[in-house]
Amino acid sequence: MAGAKKLPKYLIVSPSNDHKEDLKPEKRTRAVPKWLKKVLLGIPPTIADAAEATQKTDSIELLCYLDKVNIRIKRGIFKSNDAFKYLKLGTCPVNHRDNEYYFLLYSLTTDCGFHLESLPDYSSISIALKYNPTSPVIRDMPFEILLQCRYPRLFYSYTVGFHPELQGGTFHKVLQPNSSFSISSQDALGNEIPGSETYILGHPMYFEASGPDKTTDSADEKIYINKCFVTASRDPTSQPKYTVIDNHGCMIDGKVTIQSKFLLGNSTSTQKFSVGSFIFKDGTSTTSPQVQFYIHCEMSLGPLTPTSSSKACNYDHATYKWRELHGRDCVCACCDSTCPSAHPKMASKEIITSKSWKVDFSSEGEFEEVDPQFNSFDAETVNVEDPNMEGHTYFLNCD
């Protein structure tokens, strides 16, 4: 359009007390005051584009989004190779790194310690970037830098409207029943145990988690176990409880005993795993030599290729590393920190509870050695050429 004025998306205006009456809403129409017309049609001050709203130095870069912040720090400013261990965004650790940078990529809803401040002209999100080494000797001085993202609150009204565009078509969504996921006890040969089972204290227990259709493999989805914990009651909120799987597919109890691990199977709609039987410390005071337990699991459907949000990671005691059951070990890098949540369409927050079982701690009993038909992942098949790169290889080829 010829002669059209190009106006900014927003303009910060601080009217004086004399002008506040001009902005009060009224039923009747009235002319726009001259001072306001001058503000709206005059030459506004230069305002940086939102895409350029990046706090940047030679070493630290901050990029602000509406729902997250990205911080990138050059590794070259540190003298220690393990500096990332002591670098925190509030309370959150480094969650990605490569040969040149450390990254802290976090949603503003994450419990890192973000401070929200609402001011008349803008909203502010601030948080401290801290480096506080706790090693016996330090080669870099500690520091704390306050980072801040500002979001302007005042906009021209004629740039805020939405103009929906209607499109035809029908969207179908398959509804799954509440019992779409299940978990069952099995023996060492992979056969389901129909009734209640009694295990000898310290011996392995076998379980199988099943997806919506246990009998049919999906071409593009696979079942994953997000977390599992054991209680002495059918109520999953009861105490005490002991977590065996957590962090979206990390067998954390595997760091305690080699009997706790994910096991290979022949179907994408099931996931097998074993847990070393145990009792709660307070349970030894009971007059009965047998104690009843339940396992509660949260499961989801995810992609066939494991990701950091959908995985099955075992702890390898020989190499002190996390290994993914199907070989993509880099997705297990977050098992000792915080793994990202799965996409809402893939995750199911429903807790599935197993049938009960009992643990006999009256005596060690007899145990018959059985060769299971499904095997755990063999960590010796993976070779890391440079042992000094242990902390970095997790991020290779893991987009």
Closest CA to 60 of 101, 2, 111: 101
Q: Is the pLDDT of residue 39 over 50?
A: yes
What is the chain's Cα-based Rg?
Answer: 29
Q: Is the pLDDT of residue 329 over 90?
A: yes
- The stretch 50-57 carries a mean pLDDT of 43
Q: Which two tokens stand for residue 24?
A: 């009060």
- Partner residues linked to 138 by β-bridges: none
* Share of the chain residues as helix, strand and coil, in percent rounded to the nearest 5: 15, 35, 55
What is the model's pLDDT at position 52?
40
Residue 139 identity: R
Q: What percent of the chain has pLDDT over 70?
A: 68
Q: Which two tokens stand for residue 37?
A: 């017309």
- The stretch 272-294 carries a mean pLDDT of 80
Q: Which two tokens stand for residue 331?
A: 């997705």
Q: Is the pLDDT of residue 204 over 70?
A: yes
Q: What percent of the chain has pLDDT over 90?
A: 36
d(C-alpha 51, C-alpha 144), whole Å: 26
Token pair 């503000």 in the structure block, residue: 39
Q: Which two tokens stand for residue 160?
A: 């805020």
d(C-alpha 244, C-alpha 274), whole Å: 10
- In the chain, what are the domains? 54-154 (2.60.40.3210), 182-365 (2.60.40.4100)
Out of 195-204, 250-259, 340-349, 384-393, give the one with best mean pLDDT.
250-259
Put simply, whether the predicted model's pTM sits higher than 0.75 gets the answer no
d(C-alpha 45, C-alpha 12), whole Å: 9
Query: Please, which pLDDT band fits residue 89 given cuts at 50, 70 and 90?
Result: very high
Q: Which two tokens stand for residue 312?
A: 């099955």
